[in-house]
Chain A
Amino acid sequence: MSVQVWTYLLVGITFTLYIGIAIWSRAGSTKDFYVAGGGVSPLANGMATAADWMSAASFISMAGIIAFAGYDGSVYLMGWTGGYVLLALLLAPYLRKFGKFTVPDFIGDRYYSNTARLVAVFCALIVSFTYVAGQMRGVGVVFSRFLQVDINTGVVIGMIIVLFYAVLGGMKGITYTQVAQYCVLIFAFMVPAIFISFQMTGNPVPQLGMGSTLNDGSGTYLMDRLNGLSTELGFEEYTDGSKSVMDVFAITLALMVGTAGLPHVIVRFFTVKRVKDARKSAGLALLLIAILYTTAPAVSVFAKMNLIDTVSNEQYSQMPVWFKNWEETGLLTFNDKNKDGVIQYVADEDRNELIVDNDIMVLANPEIANLPAWVIALVAAGGLAAALSTAAGLLLVISASVSHDLIKKVFKPNISEKGELWAARGAATVAVVIAGYFGINPPGFVAAVVALAFGLAAASFFPAIVLGIFYKKMNKEGAIGGMIVGICLMLFYMAKFKLGWLGEIPDKSEWWFGISPEGFGTVAMIVNFIVALTINKFTPAPPSQVQEIVENIRIPSGEGKAVEH
């Protein structure tokens, strides 16, 4: 069977599965819709969290980015996993004990203020919308490459599928489809990695293969060969980065703290039964994520080696079929500058003739390594699972922010349970349509902003939540002031140094403390802490019943289930 047939088959089967699960797990109450009834097992929640978390960016782009960035790519590996340690130790158990439905719920109640709630809703919406647009785009790219449909048609198909199970099932439907999606995506990521690791090094475990000797009888270590080739072609050594230590430090910290502050991840811990389960499921989630995250750098190394071996100083006319296929998508371009018919792939921009998009490395890897057609098709199904599962989780945050935090808590407190459920479904529908629109007409700044969503989350939520739990005397004036100053500072730095909204983008040398916009979330977070604590010093302490709430969430027992409204 051809790749095309396999792809239709595998994508068809997985989509049918997702829809089947959605029908089986319809939401009957708002509690089902927001937190899946609060009775999800730690393992199911761990799997769902892992799928929720690993987006099109983790599955498709990350290994490619690392392949080209080498050591500098470590910021994503450490940043996007280390955040779970913060989440498990500092946030998840206490938020679960608190037992409400959303992050703005916590901020609003803990800081006894609807202003705080509204600021939190605003931050949650900005973060989630920028993120979800990127996911819909990912769905479109996979469809267009593997099923030869137009990108826009791909986005619309993706929208309909997500709409179906998010609107019908709410958190309950999303949770169980995410469990299935985790299985699909991890299988799809691991199979080609194991094949290639075995091919190149004789060791089937990619994590070990990466540090083994090559299979060609030379006895050379893979990493040494890659370092050697990289320097030969004029690139930095693979294991040596080009970013400053300060910047690597700041970006890693911003990604970690941002991960812990992302509302669609936090909200997953409201769905388990007990505090104990919240801790355990954070551990399981990270374990399941680590399987992909420790394999990805190995895939990067294999892919980079394979790419250099296949193209460097080879005749253009001798290139395999995949090369031509990807050229058609525009993600791979060859420009024979010196007209010798040979591909020069070097660091020097004037002589380099080959431009390879990051996203190709994972998607084309099985083809480059000559793996069977079903493996290639599997990667397409995995990419879709990763994009859809994350999109659904984000849509839920958006719909809950509108129906629960805005309508129920602020504008129409006496809305009936049924009315709120319908409002949630309506908000989810509108959110899917807006996300789809951005997927089809991506505003130029979306790609840039997705990376910065972490900075925004770090600068706004993380300090407010941590102080809310660990500092009993933290009051609303301090928390609101900190959040507003933090997010505005981050937005300002983005606008000035990344998006160029305030005149021409200044040179790198003008970065504050030498920190890039991606890493600036760290600075904005520190400023948030300082502002919050300073204001707190000069304003009245929180009322005693709020301090009692804090004492109560620090203790894991009592109130086993999410509080009913």
Chain B
Amino acid sequence: MSEKQKKATAYWKENVRYLFILLSIWFSVSFGAGILFKNALNTIKIGGFELGFWFAQQGSIYVFVVLIFVYVRLMNKLDKKYGYNV
């Protein structure tokens, strides 16, 4: 494997690892907190919100937005590390 290919493979591996972590969070806030564990979380109340309901109609959306911006930051750093930012 050439030096160039090695670099590309290492970059891709780190990228996929980021995706795995971020998508796990994506799954847990929506399908986890908002759907599968909604009833259990609804016993907890914050202000006027039952927590499971809040995740389903508000919380998951905020987390989605944050996830994409975290990804943007991580990838910009990663691009720089491997010199792919030019």
Chain A residues near B (Cβ < 8 Å): 66, 71, 73-74, 77-78, 81-82, 84-86, 88-90, 93, 207, 210-213, 221-224, 239-240, 245, 248-249, 252-253, 256, 276, 279-280, 282-283, 286-287, 290, 293-294, 297, 470, 551, 554-557
Let me know if A294 and B30 touch, CB within 8 A: no
Residues of A within 8 A of B61 (CB): 77-78, 81, 290, 293-294
Interface size class of B (residues with CB under 8 A): 35 or more
**How far, in whole Å, are A293 and B57 apart by their CA atoms in the complex?**
9
Residues of A within 8 A of B67 (CB): 85
Let me know if A223 and B50 touch, CB within 8 A: yes
Let me know if A245 and B35 touch, CB within 8 A: yes
Let me know if B53 and A239 touch, CB within 8 A: yes
| 30 residue pairs from A and B, CB less than 8 Å apart | A66-B57, A71-B53, A71-B57, A73-B57, A78-B56, A78-B60, A82-B26, A85-B26, A89-B68, A89-B71, A207-B58, A211-B49, A211-B54, A223-B48, A239-B42, A245-B35, A248-B35, A252-B31, A276-B85, A279-B75, A286-B68, A290-B62, A290-B65, A293-B61, A294-B62, A551-B5, A554-B11, A555-B84, A556-B84, A556-B85
Let me know if B31 and A245 touch, CB within 8 A: no
Residues of A within 8 A of B84 (CB): 555-557
Q: Once A and B bind, how many residue pairs between them come within 8 Å at the CB atom?
A: 129
With beta carbons under 8 angstroms apart, the residue of B16, B58, B71 that contacts A88 is B71
Let me know if B62 and A85 touch, CB within 8 A: no
Report A237 CB to chain B, min CB distance, Å: 10
Judge whether B44 is part of the interface by a CB distance below 8 angstroms.
no
Report B3 CB to chain A, min CB distance, Å: 14
Residues of A within 8 A of B53 (CB): 71, 74, 223, 239
Judge whether B46 is part of the interface by a CB distance below 8 angstroms.
yes
Let me know if B72 and A222 touch, CB within 8 A: no
Report B40 CB to chain A, min CB distance, Å: 12
Residues of A within 8 A of B47 (CB): 211-212, 221
Let me know if B48 and A224 touch, CB within 8 A: yes
Given contacts A71-B57, A224-B48, 17 further A-B contacts (CB under 8 A): A73-B57, A74-B56, A77-B56, A82-B30, A211-B48, A211-B54, A212-B47, A249-B31, A249-B36, A252-B35, A276-B75, A279-B68, A283-B69, A286-B68, A287-B65, A556-B75, A556-B79
Residues of B within 8 A of A256 (CB): 30
Let me know if A85 and B19 touch, CB within 8 A: no
Residues of B within 8 A of A287 (CB): 65, 69
Residues of B within 8 A of A283 (CB): 65, 68-69, 71-72
Residues of B within 8 A of A212 (CB): 47-48
Residues of B within 8 A of A551 (CB): 5, 8
Report B29 CB to chain A, min CB distance, Å: 9
Let me know if B58 and A297 touch, CB within 8 A: yes
10 closest A-B pairs by CB = A221-B48, A74-B56, A283-B68, A211-B48, A557-B84, A297-B57, A239-B53, A211-B47, A211-B49, A223-B48
Report A292 CB to chain B, min CB distance, Å: 10
**How far, in whole Å, are A507 and B9 apart by their CA atoms in the complex?**
52
Q: A239-B50, A555-B11 are in contact. Are A294 and B58 (CB under 8 A)?
A: yes
Let me know if A74 and B71 touch, CB within 8 A: no
**How far, in whole Å, are A283 and B70 apart by their CA atoms in the complex?**
9
Let me know if B64 and A84 touch, CB within 8 A: yes
Q: A211-B49, A239-B42, A276-B79 are in contact. Are A286 and B72 (CB under 8 A)?
A: no
**How far, in whole Å, are A554 and B82 apart by their CA atoms in the complex?**
13
Report B8 CB to chain A, min CB distance, Å: 6
Most A-side CB within 10 Å, residue of B16, B34, B58, B79? B58
**How far, in whole Å, are A78 and B64 apart by their CA atoms in the complex?**
9
Most A-side CB within 10 Å, residue of B57, B60, B69, B72? B57
Let me know if A81 and B58 touch, CB within 8 A: no
**How far, in whole Å, are A294 and B57 apart by their CA atoms in the complex?**
7
Q: A71-B53, A77-B57, A213-B48 are in contact. Are A85 and B36 (CB under 8 A)?
A: no
Residues of B within 8 A of A249 (CB): 31, 35-36
Let me know if A78 and B50 touch, CB within 8 A: no
Which residue on A lies nearest to B50, using beta carbons? A239
Q: A74-B57, A212-B47 are in contact. Are A282 and B68 (CB under 8 A)?
A: yes
Let me know if A82 and B64 touch, CB within 8 A: yes
Which residue on B lies nearest to A223, using beta carbons? B48
**How far, in whole Å, are A470 and B62 apart by their CA atoms in the complex?**
27
**How far, in whole Å, are A160 and B71 apart by their CA atoms in the complex?**
41
**How far, in whole Å, are A82 and B33 apart by their CA atoms in the complex?**
14
Let me know if B48 and A85 touch, CB within 8 A: no
Report A84 CB to chain B, min CB distance, Å: 7
